[in-house]
Chains A and B, each alone.
Chain A
Amino acid sequence: MSAVYRFFGLALIASATCTPLLAAEPDRTVEIIVGASPGGGFDRTARAMERVLEEGIVNQPIKVTNQPGAGGAVALASMNRHPGNMHYISITSPNILTDELRGMSPLKFDSMTPIATLVSEYLCFAVSTKSKITTAAELVASLQNNPEELHFGFATTPGNHNHVAFAQLAEVVGFDVMKPKTVVFKGASEAVTALLGQHIDFSIAPVASFAEYVRSGDVRCLAVSAPERMGGAMAAVPTWTEIGYNVVYGPFRGVIGPRDLSADQIAYWEESLKKMSESDAWEKEIVDNYWSANFKGHAETLKYLSTERDVLKASLTTLKLLK
């Protein structure tokens, strides 16, 4: 018996010396638990990851499981039931921070292992092309002079990225964020319907939600919250910074693992995701979805999350969603 053990022991040492790449590596199927239904935003990110990672970056099969609910919190909770297990990862966004700050969810980033940030989605401030408002300056003037007459609608929940971007404009410009008549829609397409039908005056949403309507001439994007001009259908749209207001905000999409991942396990994923984000296939996903590449590794992501928490805290207070 002991001879057998010794043999395996030797074999292990041998294999370890032969592949000195990384100490931790998945040895069976990796599961990406997605907190959205098939076809939703998180799902598309995960499927894109699956495609790119399986092409020689991760040597094990990858499986995407959909577990929608509570803006992703249900999926994260279920991932977190596998502490220290690198075979479970998930996609995340600032929603979790918002829930944490508002005390809605027991789940915190600190109780999981943020691995990397992949992309940012910048936001578009949009009106119908039939609207009287045709420039960002006119929108700002209305917000300052007659905010009660403006109807503002967005999806999907109060205090989310769209709402936060609005609060940040209010902080910079100095208007009362509570004055415009504000409605929340269940989904991005309901908000677009209301905007096209002129039931609301303006809306804020990730660029991808409006790009097709900008191309068709139904929607006018007044400004984007990106640090620099975007491409494609958005090439003609100024950034808020260009206009003179420092509003740069884009919710991130990142990858997160369960709690208690070892340094080696984190390093493995960090390395793999970095390779993924440098691939051509990923580049195409970024262009197709109007994302902006924004890769950050583990340490940087942690730093980023704590600044993001402060930003959100300030904006949620402006929106009177936090005391």
Chain B
Amino acid sequence: MSTIEFLASGIATALTGWNFAYVVIGAFVGTWIGMLPGLGPSTGIALLLPLTYGLDPTGGMIMLCGIYFGSMYGGSISSILLNTPGDVSSVITMLDGNPMAKRGRGGAALFCSAIASFVGGTIGLIALTFLAEPIARFALRFGPAEYFALMLFALVATATILKGEAVKGLIAIMLGLMVATVGIDLQSGAPRFTMGSPNLFDGVSLVAVIVGLFGIAEVFTNTGELMARRWGKVQIAGRLWMDKNEWWRCRFSFFRGSVIGFLVGIVPGAGGAVATLLSYAAEKRASKHPEEFGKGAIEGVAGPEAANNASVGGALIPLFTLGLPGSSATAILLGALMVFGIQPGPQLFVENPDLVWGIIGSLYVANVILVILNIPFIGIFVKMLKMPGAPLNAIILMLTLTGAYSLNNNIFDVQIALAFGMLGYLLRKASIPSAPLLLAVALGGTLEQSVRQALSLSGGNISGLAPSLIAAAFLGLSILLVLLGTLKPVIGLAHRIKPSLRTSIGPGKV
């Protein structure tokens, strides 16, 4: 059978009887779970996995894939409307999506994110369908040195999301890297900054950090606004969906984001966070008005959202062709396969073609269903913004704390979330941005461990950091970005000094 025939039979599987119901249920439930602060694709799938234990492998996997895409849609809804991301990969959407909502363009942001997710998701799936075999083994080129170079590049790209004072952004990044060192050190097995508590052995729970820094800090800020009677209701400005100008501005962003997302997705372990971050940086560079980024530039929603969903197609390639997960969400899908009695490995495509193509088919179907399900709801979702402050705060607080508790069933995570809530509030008061802090927490662990792994393998020789073209290229790009960033102000400064030099030591005085 050719690829097209396999795909057709896969889509047919997904549309048959109960399977279709599972896709729809998964997509619907996934959207609602994803809307809960702190619950994104990986946490959503993990939480709902036990629901599928009674189903047959194909039906169960199809439902999980619906949940996967659904929770990605849901995650961007809470990012845009409530300023509380579902997971790390929707933080970037929040940077411009939430300012848009506050300006009354929440409907446009949601519509744009739905379209971007659909375009990105579909492009990622098409690439998965036709490129899986030829590029299956590409992922294996990534060893510790390559991971380090990629993570370094992503971290340097974080600088592009900074606005205002760069020093404050750097403070946020450093704080995040510090938080990332908590836990048992992978290489030595020694506990670091755990204060003797086994609860901190695995490090600080990322979900708790997300809901604290964003959800709970948002509640604190809102409460402050309410008490100062500065709480303003948001009025929808212009059309509910995207207007002509907005369409025109992000016409290329959808495709740029999709390509970046897919490529990053292929690398096991890089995942959606790196994809959205790099896409955002690319959009800002390509834009004619980079100063609007962070204040509600629609390209800042379109690119990263497309990248996030396109990365799914990429991440599924190492999973299906090698049995190696490309992201935390696909790692849980891998576990699910094993629960269903299927050993994922290099033979999966060959030995279980019906299952694999059924999953791919169901993703295509889920993508379409989500657009149909979500666009009509935009009007209702946007009304959330008109809710009175006090009940809205109570709802956000309840949802965030539930989210923090539910993943590990551990009250300790709730305490961590509250602590990060207070930290987040203080950071806001000091106008230190929280998003770079979170990204640093998310990337910091891999960054540190991979550099140490690379150096261990080379026996401490610094050349071990660039053993391949891939690693050297990312290191080179990182250095270039840093130089560009630091030289620009220096050159600017020189320009500003020159005229004053001329006036003070003018020709007349010599």
- Given the known inter-chain contacts A43-B335, A71-B201, A192-B324, please indicate yes or no for A199 contacting B268, CB distance below 8 A: no
Q: A70–B191 Cα gap in the complex (Å)?
A: 11
Could you tell me the distance between the alpha carbons of A47 and B52 in the complex, rounded to whole angstroms?
12
Q: Which of chain B's residues have a CB closer than 8 A to the CB of A49?
A: none
CB A214 to nearest CB in B, in angstroms, measures 9
Question: What residues of B have a CB within 8 angstroms of the CB of A26 in the complex?
Answer: none
A317 interface hit (Cβ, 8 Å)? no
Closest to A67 in B: B409
Is A69 within 8 A of B198, CB to CB?
yes
Q: Given the interface contacts A69-B199, A211-B343, does A186 sit within 8 Å of B449 by beta carbon? A: yes
Given the complex of chains A and B, what is the CA–CA distance between A70 and B194 in angstroms?
11
Q: Which residues of B contact A321 (CB under 8 A)?
A: 189
Chain A min CB distance to B382 (Å):
34
For residue A57, CB closer than 8 A to chain B, the reply is: no
B443-460 vs A, Cβ < 8 Å mask (1 yes, 0 no): 000000100110011110
**Given A38-B335, A68-B408, A70-B202, A193 contacting B187 (CB threshold 8 A):** no
Bound CA span A68–B412, Å: 12
Is B139 at the interface (CB under 8 A from chain A)? yes
Quick check: B324 and A199 within 8 Å, CB to CB? Answer: no
Partner of A77, one of B198, B323, B457: B198
Pairwise interchain contact B269-A197, C-beta atoms closer than 8 A: no
Q: Is the CB–CB distance between B141 and A183 below 8 Å? A: no
Which among A113-121, A151-159, A249-257 touches the partner chain?
Answer: A151-159
Q: In A187-240, which residues have CB < 8 Å from any B CB? A: 187, 189-190, 192-194, 196-197, 199-200, 208, 211-213, 215-216, 218
Q: Find the B residue at minimum CB distance from A319.
A: B189
Q: Please indicate the chain A residues that have their CB under 8 angstroms from the CB of B139 in the complex.
A: 193, 197
Q: A68-B408, A74-B198, A181-B459 are in contact. Are A102 and B186 (CB under 8 A)?
A: no
> Which A74-99 residues have a C-beta within 8 angstroms of B?
74, 77-78
**Nearest-CB residue, chain A, relative to B191:** A104
- Cβ–Cβ < 8 Å partners of B140 in chain A: 193, 196-197
State how many residues of chain A have any CB contact under 8 Å with chain B. 55
A147 to B139: give the CA distance in the assembly, Å. Answer: 28
Q: Which of B189, B199, B324, B334 has the most chain A CB atoms closer than 10 A to its own CB?
A: B189
Task: Give CA–CA (A37, B140) in the complex, Å.
Answer: 26
A189:B142 contact, CB within 8 angstroms: no
For the complex, is B346 an interface residue (Cβ under 8 Å from A)? yes
Given contacts A38-B332, A39-B336, A193-B268, A212 and B144 within 8 Å (CB-CB): no
| With A148-B459, A197-B143, A199-B144 as contacts: A189 and B331 at CB distance below 8 Å | yes
A68, B191: Cα distance in complex, Å: 17
Q: Give the docked Cα–Cα distance between A93 and B503 (Å).
A: 78
Question: Contacts A38-B46, A38-B50, A151-B457: A215 and B345 contacting too (C-beta < 8 A)?
Answer: yes
**Which residues of the partner chain A approach B343 to less than 8 Å between Cβ atoms?**
208, 211-212, 288
Contact assessment for A158 and B189 in the assembled complex, using a CB-CB cutoff below 8 Å: yes
Q: Which residues of A contact B410 (CB under 8 A)?
A: 67, 69, 74, 78
Of residues 467 through 485 on chain B, the ones whose CB sits less than 8 Å from some CB of chain A are none
Contact B202 A218 (CB under 8 A): no
Q: CB distance A44 to B338 under 8 Å?
A: yes
Is A66 a contact partner of B339 (Cβ separation < 8 A)?
Answer: no
B450 to chain A, nearest CB (A): 10
List the B side residues contacting A71 at CB < 8 Å.
Answer: 201
CB-based nearest B residue for A163: B189
Chain B residues lying within 8 Å of A104, measured Cβ to Cβ, are 184, 191, 198, 201
**Contact residue among A40, A148, A151, A190 (Cβ-Cβ distance under 8 Å from B269):** A190
Which of B186, B199, B334, B341 has a CB less than 8 Å from the CB of A189? B334
How long is the Cα–Cα vector from A68 to B269 in the complex, in angstroms? 20
- Once the chains are docked, how many angstroms separate the CA of A220 from the CA of B457? 21
- Please, which residues of chain B bring their CB within 8 A of the CB of A208? 343
Residues of chain A lying within 8 A (CB to CB) of residue B318: 193
Given contacts A38-B49, A68-B408, A200-B457, contact A184 B346 (CB under 8 A): no
Residues of A close to B53: CB separation below 8 A:
47
B86 at the interface (CB under 8 A from A): no
Contact yes or no, A69 B346, CB < 8 A: no
Bound complex: CA A218 to CA B136 (Å): 13
Q: Are B335 and A183 in contact (CB under 8 A)?
A: no
Q: How far is the CB of B207 from chain A (nearest CB, A)?
A: 12
Out of B49, B144, B201, B341, name the residue touching A183 (CB < 8 Å).
B144
Is B104 interfacial (CB-CB < 8 Å)? no
Decide yes or no whether A65 CB sits under 8 A from chain B: yes
Residue B347 CB within 8 A of the other chain = yes
Asked if B336 and A212 make an inter-chain contact with CB atoms under 8 angstroms apart, the answer reads no
B189 touches A159 (CB 8 A): yes
Let me know if B187 and A181 touch, CB within 8 A: no
Is A105 in contact with chain B by the CB < 8 A criterion?
yes
Interface flags for A29-68 (1: CB within 8 Å of B; 0: not) read: 0000000011110011001000000000000000011111
B6 to chain A, nearest CB (A): 20
B12 at the interface (CB under 8 A from A): no
Query: Would you call A273 an interface residue if the criterion is a C-beta within 8 Å of the partner chain's C-beta atoms?
Result: no
Q: Which of B323, B410, B457 has the most CB of A within 10 A?
A: B457
Question: What are 8 pairs between A and B in contact, CB < 8 Å?
Answer: A39-B336, A67-B410, A68-B408, A74-B408, A104-B184, A186-B186, A189-B324, A213-B346
Give residues in A with beta carbon < 8 Å to B: 37-40, 43-44, 47, 64-71, 73-74, 77-78, 102, 104-107, 148, 151, 153, 157-159, 181-187, 189-190, 192-194, 196-197, 199-200, 208, 211-213, 215-216, 218, 288, 321
20 additional contacts, CB 8 Å, given A69-B408, A74-B199, A197-B143? Answer: A39-B334, A47-B339, A66-B409, A68-B408, A69-B199, A70-B199, A70-B201, A70-B202, A71-B201, A148-B459, A158-B189, A181-B457, A181-B458, A184-B187, A185-B453, A189-B331, A193-B322, A199-B144, A212-B345, A321-B189
